């Protein structure tokens, strides 16, 4: 996700400095090359060696140093950066940068960079609410600097309120957004994900093996690319991606209601959910007792959500999935036409490394206007971006 990206992580003196270590791990795990600059006060809280070991680079603490033979440290780092993160950002560093002061390695490098700069502030609640601080933040925002707002909670100083550093995962997500072209900004995309559960009684249900991974990858990628994302999700074990509007549902009829409630105003609907085609004719109010050697279930057809969307006069761009075990292209094409879709993503769910409950997928994309695009084995995150590339290019310009 962050492959080939160079990120400068500036760490300031605050009790939350230890959380910058966790952020560094997330960034390097995401593929980024991270260089750390620590202020003098930051070193009171945590030793540079920790960051050095985890980033695989020496930590920068002094302004007047050279990198290699003839590279001036702060200019070289500033030029190399794709993104600059300051975590935790103290009231002091924000005040200094807002005032144009550059008197140490961190402030000098920030001033010299043309990369986007993202602050994650952490401080006492009264410092955070102080007018001078707020004016400094406002000024920096006006000049195009980005912020990940602190959260409310119990602060290290004993006070309760805003000022707690945002979670490393939230800062990581904001970093990914800052590094991703915002081609879906202003768009609203509804994604369905996961299985549906059709209850037989209070303890049993009919369902399928969908984990939600494909739909969640789509929701996360669309969010990273700037879309407002509504994620209608059946029951899964996954955490909702940061920044999406999650609408939890259980059954196919719940999903139908949720989709119809949110579809107006959407630019695209992507239906990655594995919706049960049938449900028990009736749900028993109490647990069905064990009876003879066999038991028969009467099932009735569920509404086809995608087909209902396809039959609407005014409808958003519609992308369906086809989970197939044979004649993948042929069956998917029939669904594309029958449900009046703009595109369908066919996956062969009989393969071990594709389809249900794995991190990879391979797919055949078919389009309403004809033509197809074959995607070899790739991660679901990668496939999500390929699908969004297609949708982004096909959405009408506004």
Q: Which residues bind ligand PMT (CB under 6 A)?
A: 194, 210-215, 252, 271-275, 277, 302, 304-306, 320-323, 335, 347, 349, 355-357
12 in active site: no
Query: 230 with 181: CB under 8 angstroms?
Result: no
Round to whole Å and give the CA distance between 49 and 58.
8
Nearer to ligand PMT, 73 or 355 (CB): 355
CB atoms within 10 A of CB 131: 7
Residue 263 or 323: which CB sits closer to ligand PMT? 323
Backbone φ and ψ for 68, nearest 5 degrees, come out as 70, -150
- Whole-number minimum distance, CB 355 to ligand PMT, in Å? 4
Nearest to ligand PMT of 119, 356 (CB atom): 356
Q: Could you say which of 12, 157, 266, 375 is catalytic? A: 157
Contact 205, 197 (CB under 8 A): yes
Q: Nearer Cβ to ligand PMT, position 230 or 322? A: 322
Residue 63 CB, shortest distance to ligand PMT, in Å, is: 49
d(CA 197, CA 200): 9
- Give the CA distances from residue 186 to residues 92, 225, 266, 397, in Å, rounded to whole numbers and listed in that order: 35, 10, 10, 11
Q: Which is nearer to ligand PMT, 272 or 366 (CB)?
A: 272
**Min dist. Cβ of residue 3 to ligand PMT (A):** 23
Do 196 and 276 form a contact (C-beta atoms < 8 A)?
Answer: yes
Shortest Å distance, C-beta 229 to ligand PMT: 16
Alpha-helical (H) ranges within the chain are 17-29, 42-45, 48-55, 73-80, 91-98, 105-112, 125-129, 131-142, 168-179, 213-224, 252-262, 305-310, 328-338, 380-394
- CA-CA distance, 14 to 365, in Å (whole number)? 50
Instruction: Identify which of residues 266 and 349 has a Cβ nearer to ligand PMT in the complex.
Output: 349
CB-wise, 83 or 387, nearer to ligand PMT? 387
Torsion over CA of 356, 357, 361 and 367, rounded to 10 degrees?
40
d(CA 151, CA 163): 6
Q: How many CA atoms lie within 13 Å of 49's alpha carbon, on the beta-carbon side?
A: 1
C-alpha 372 chain-centroid distance: 27
The least distance separating ligand PMT from the CB of residue 323, rounded to whole angstroms, comes to: 4
> What tokens appear for 109 in the block?
């490098």
**Residue 205 φ then ψ, to 5°:** -150, 160
| Least Å from the CB of residue 333 to ligand PMT | 12
Cβ-based nearer residue to ligand PMT, 182 or 325 = 325
Q: CB-side exposure of 285: number of CA atoms within 13 Å?
A: 0
Query: Under the phi-then-psi rule, with left for phi > 0, alpha for psi from -120 to 50, and beta for the rest, what region is 4?
Result: left
Closest separation in Å from C-beta 168 to ligand PMT? 26
CA separation for the pair 180, 392 (Å, rounded) = 14
Taking the C-alpha atoms of residue 115 and residue 19, their distance in angstroms, rounded to an integer, is: 23
CB of 269 to ligand PMT, least distance (A): 9
- Residues identified as active-site: 157
């Amino acid at each position: 996700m962050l492959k080939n990206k160079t990120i400068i992580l500036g760490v300031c003196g605050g009790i939350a400095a230890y959380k910058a270590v966790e952020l560094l791990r997330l960034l390097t795990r995401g593929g980024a090359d991270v260089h750390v600059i620590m202020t003098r006060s930051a070193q009171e809280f945590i030793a540079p060696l920790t960051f050095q070991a985890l980033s695989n680079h020496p930590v920068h603490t002094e302004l007047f140093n050279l990198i290699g033979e003839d590279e001036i440290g702060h200019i070289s780092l500033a030029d190399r950066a794709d993104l600059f993160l300051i975590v935790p950002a103290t009231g002091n560093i924000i005040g200094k940068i807002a005032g144009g002061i550059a008197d140490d390695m961190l402030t000098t490098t920030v001033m010299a960079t043309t990369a986007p700069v993202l602050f994650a502030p952490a401080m006492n609640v009264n410092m955070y609410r102080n007018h001078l601080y707020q004016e400094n933040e406002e000024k920096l925002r006006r000049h195009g600097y980005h912020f990940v707002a602190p959260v409310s909670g119990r602060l290290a100083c004993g006070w309760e309120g805003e000022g707690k550093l945002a979670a490393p995962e939230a800062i990581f997500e904001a970093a990914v957004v800052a590094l991703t072209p915002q081609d879906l900004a202003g768009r609203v995309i509804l994604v369905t994900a996961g299985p549906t559960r059709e209850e037989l009684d209070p303890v049993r249900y009919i369902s399928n093996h969908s984990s939600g991974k494909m739909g969640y990858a789509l929701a996360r990628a669309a969010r990273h690319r700037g879309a407002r994302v509504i994620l209608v999700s059946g029951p899964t074990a996954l955490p909702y991606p940061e920044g999406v509007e999650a609408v939890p549902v259980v059954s196919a009829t719940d999903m139908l209601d949720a989709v119809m409630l949110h579809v107006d105003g959407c630019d695209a609907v992507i239906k990655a959910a594995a919706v049960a085609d049938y449900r028990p004719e009736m749900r028993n109010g109490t647990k069905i007792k064990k009876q003879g050697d066999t038991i028969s279930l009467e099932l009735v057809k569920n509404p086809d959500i995608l087909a209902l969307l396809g039959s609407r006069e005014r409808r958003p761009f519609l992308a369906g999935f086809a989970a197939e075990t044979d004649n993948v292209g042929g069956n998917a094409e029939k669904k594309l036409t029958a449900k009046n879709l703009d595109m369908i993503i066919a996956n062969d769910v009989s393969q071990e490394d594709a389809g249900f409950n794995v991190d990879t997928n391979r797919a055949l994309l078919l389009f309403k206007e004809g033509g197809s695009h074959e995607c070899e084995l790739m991660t679901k995150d990668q496939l999500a971006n390929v699908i969004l590339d297609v949708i982004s290019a096909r959405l009408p310009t506004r």
